Structure 1
Amino acid sequence: MANKKPLKVLFAPILFEGHVNPCIGIAMQLIADGHRAVFTANDVWRPKLAAYGIETVELANSSATDGRAIDTARSSQSMVSFGLIGGASAIEKVRLEVNAIEFWTKSVQYFDTQLARLLPAIRPDVIVLDQLVTLPAAELSGIPCVWLWSAGPLVMLDDERTPPGKSGLSATGDPRLWREFRQLVRDVRREKWRTFNDWVVGRGCEPLPEYCFHNSARYLHIYGYPLELDYQDIRPLDRNYVRFDNFKRNERHMIFAVPPELAAKPGKLVYFSLGSLCPVDVQNMRRLVAILAKSPHRFIVSMGPKHMEYTLADNMWGAASVPQIRVLPLVDLVITHGGLNTVTESLYFGRPMIAMPVFSEQYDNAQRLHDKGFGLRLDAYKCSEEELLAAIETLLNDRQLAERLAEVSRRIQTDNSLAKVSQLIENFVQNPHKYID
């Protein structure tokens, strides 16, 4: 940072782990490079962020959502009530998305009011957003804005040359199915989009592109997705989109060792996590645990917010949440919901995956892993005992896959793309027009 003015970077993420964690990874790199990182947060997240040495500015709970957008257990219950966590298919969940859209747009309207109040006092040099819809307060501030996409590259940019986001359709599949899915999304979103667009325009912003909840041309977009999985060979990106392999945070303040009672047992070691939200479906967690109990292998389980409501088998150890970055280097296989952080972090460590998506971009990530041969996609609700146990054995015994993954891991760790994020943000602040018109 010699001869450079340190930047004050404000992070404004959705307060879910899947959105906050990549922001932490970027913030830690910025801090290491001499910049200052500040998060909008609440009393749930303030102590967690403090453990990483990150400053926070306080947000009030949203009266519009009764705090639901900031509490994992209640937020996941909302997802269940919307039908987004459950056994419905990806296309069925599009039809169920209406209530979720209303929930998110109301939440962001409340947050926008707070952000407009906070910005004059914070006076950041740049804002990093990790949101699902636009924040007029940020757009109208005149401050350079970076949009971090934790929702995956297909959600980030809808392009006719790729499958639609949240569909789980294959990039080598039938484009007619892509068109049908896109049309359904437009039909479902139409009225909610019009209402939200009217509010955005009423706040003084330009109208949004049709059916889109943000104006992509106004931001530098960054996303974490390994080169081996990305779609840039199908649809190249404009200069205001920059890919990183991952936004993996460090967890130096956390320690983890395999518990002695599990370490003493035979078998390979498998990490089983459906993320922070999906395990709220206790009935399905019980079903999957009962299947895994019949495996000769051992399991570390991230049990989720309802961990007290089900019991693990003798070949397992688990907790409400586990320090994933510390666990992944120790295991031989990952069973995951296909969340973006878990996928990118597992490839960082070269681990094969069984992906069992539940909602949103998880479907896309699971299908991409399957198509690219880095894992297998199964249905989280309908997979049979035979399918799941056979998939575990298939991946654990695939030597060729292990070698490919080791090569991917070496490339990702050698490239260390996250180390370049500070320079990118510095360049963007100094010359935004290099990236956006």
Structure 2
Amino acid sequence: MPHIAFFGIPGHGHVNPTLPIVAELIRRGHRVSYYNTASFAEKISSTGAQFYAYPATDLTGESLTRLAGNLVDVTVLLLEASQRLLPFALDELRREQPDVVVFDGICLWGMQAAHLLNLPRVSSIATMVLEGVKGVIKPRELPGMILSALPRLPRIRRLRRRLEEQYGQGVFPNKDLFPCVGQKTIVFTSREFQPPTPFIDDSFYFVGPAIDPETRVSTSFPWNSLRAGPRVYVSLGTIHRNDTFFNTVFETFAGYPAQFIVSAGQQTDLAALGDAPDNFLVREAVPQLELLPKTDLFITHGGNNSVHEALYWGVPLLVVPQQTEQVANGRLVAQQGAGIVVGDRPPYHQRISATALRSAVDQLLHDESYRGAAQRLSASFRATGGYRLAADVVESLLPPFA
């Protein structure tokens, strides 16, 4: 039986797109093993994959989220993790002897181990390819980013040198540290949504969002509470506390001629939010994939999964970013005409006024051009091939008679 090994990153935005691929490969008769932190054991095992936990390091979903606004600190975290996880990955690959290795686009140790052992390898990039893209970072933002990075550069050089001394120059097979690319690279967006960049070549496969509701954990929801008329879905993700923002939304849109469905997230104390206005439905979590087709607008933090899931259903977006990657996503959505980004300068959503929020919602609900652009991108996503094409890409590297 052909065997495929996945090496992942402990983040829902990185894991979720791979789950339909894993399930599809298993349906096709392959054995799949999947490595990640223990917190993802249940989610990954539910696909039928054999789950293996990484040894303990400082790399957790919480540490990634805490540092996500600082790409240099994330780089340090990943290089430090690779000091411990690369020998683990090498031992596991020698023991398991998979036919193909699939690794996340920031999973250094997965890429490094597969390359050092000369195994067929596929990279999966959860975001757009931003290497070489112009216009996402504004010129006035560059000096501050460079200054904040300088103190960490010696640490990055030391960590790289330590790995090179132990494993040789081949431990960093690519010119750039990130994204980690393989012999073939899967990107979970469409060519139409991907900004132009010279970094992309024929080894990149744009498969669109890997959406399969069967691979998501079910969430109960009072569907009979949805009202007729415009509906606005509000979610800033599940990690951060967003009490202040939600209270601003309550005050701004109480009595507004639309129903607001709020997914508050596990870090928000629903009791502390107080009584929501009559036109609000507030839950800790909602079944996002099932709810989006029933909504007219999505107010989101701009996480990659959320952006792509909304656009898959042709829903315009109001992006309220919380970190650098989400700023880039919001600006790309705005450039495509499928939404508006507000509060895209630090401290991000902490400074958004009620006037700016209401103006953006008014514009997005009443200007049909935003929905038209979202539907155009939806068509591009649906034409890509999705998780089935991604599974084809992985299978294409299987050796004959594997």
- TM-score bracket relative to the smaller structure: 0.7 to 0.9
Give the aligned partner of residue 9 of structure 1: 4
The aligned counterpart of 2:22 is 27
Q: Which residue of 2 aligns with 1:230?
A: 194
Residue 313 (structure 2) aligns with? 349
Rounded Cα–Cα distance in structure 1 between residues aligned with 2:75 and 2:243: 25
Structure 1 position 107, deviation (Å) = 2.8
Equivalent in the alignment of 1:149:
125
What is the DSSP-based 3-state SS (H/G/I as helix, E as strand, rest coil) of the residue aligned with 1:393? Answer: helix
CA–CA distance in 2 between the matches of 1:75 and 1:236? Answer: 25
**Could you tell me which of 44, 57, 63 is aligned with 1:49?**
44
Q: Would you say the 8 A contact 1:193–1:213 is kept in 2? A: no
> Residue 412 of structure 1 corresponds to which residue in structure 2?
381
CA positional deviation for 1:139: 2.7
CA distance in 2: counterparts of 1:213 and 1:415, whole angstroms: 28
Determine helix, strand or coil for the equivalent of 1:124. coil
Task: Please say which of residues 254-263 and 127-136 is displaced more in the overlay.
Answer: 254-263
Cα gap change, 1:225/1:122 in structure 2, threshold over 3 Å: closer, same or farther? same
Q: Counterparts of 1:103 and 1:343 in 2: how far apart (Å)?
A: 26
Letter in 2 for 1:114: F
Give the CA deviation at 1:15: 1.3
The aligned residue for residue 346 of structure 2 is none
What secondary structure does 1:272 align onto? strand
Q: CA deviation digits over 1:371-413, x for unaligned, max 9?
A: 1100001112222111112211211222233344334324432
1:87 corresponding residue in structure 2 = none
Instruction: Report sequence identity in percent.
Output: 22
* TM-score, scaled relative to structure 1: 0.77
Q: Which amino acid aligns with 1:248?
A: I
Q: Check conservation: 1:193, 1:212, Cα contact below 8 A.
A: no
8 Å Cα contact 1:69-1:107 kept in structure 2: no
TM-score, scaled to structure 2: 0.84
CA distance in 2, matches of 1:146, 1:393: 44
TM superposition shift of 1:261: 6.9
The more displaced of 417-426 and 326-335 is 417-426
Residue 119 of structure 1 pairs with residue 89 of structure 2? no
In 1, Cα distance between the equivalents of 2:176 and 2:155? 11
Pair 1:132-2:106 in alignment: yes
Q: Which residue of 2 aligns with 1:303?
A: 264
Q: How many residues align?
A: 389
Identify which range, 397-406 or 122-131, moves more after superposition: 397-406
- For 1:49, give the aligned amino acid: I
**Corresponding residue number in structure 2 for 1:398:** 367
> C-alpha separation between the residues in 1 aligned to 2:223 and 2:286?
16
Shift of 1:147: 1.6
Q: Distance in 2 between matches of 1:249 and 1:13?
A: 19
Q: 1:293 to 1:210 in 2, by over 3 A?
A: farther
Q: Distance in 1 between matches of 2:96 and 2:256?
A: 53
Per-residue deviation at 1:357?
A: 1.4
Q: Partner letter of residue 342 of structure 2?
A: L
CA distance in 2, matches of 1:21, 1:408: 21
| Structure-2 separation of matches of 1:140 and 1:404 | 44
Asked if the contact 1:98/1:188 (under 8 Å) is kept, the reply is no
- The offset of 1:257, in angstroms, is 7.0
Contact 1:271-1:328 at 8 Å conserved across structures: yes
Structure 2: 5+ residue stretches without partners: 344-348
Cα RMSD of the aligned pairs, angstroms, is 3.2
- 1:119: how far off? 2.0
CA distance 1:267–1:221, change in 2 (3 Å): same
1:408 is matched by which residue type in structure 2?
L
Are 2:299 and 2:317, in contact at CA under 8 Å, matched by a contact in 1? Answer: yes
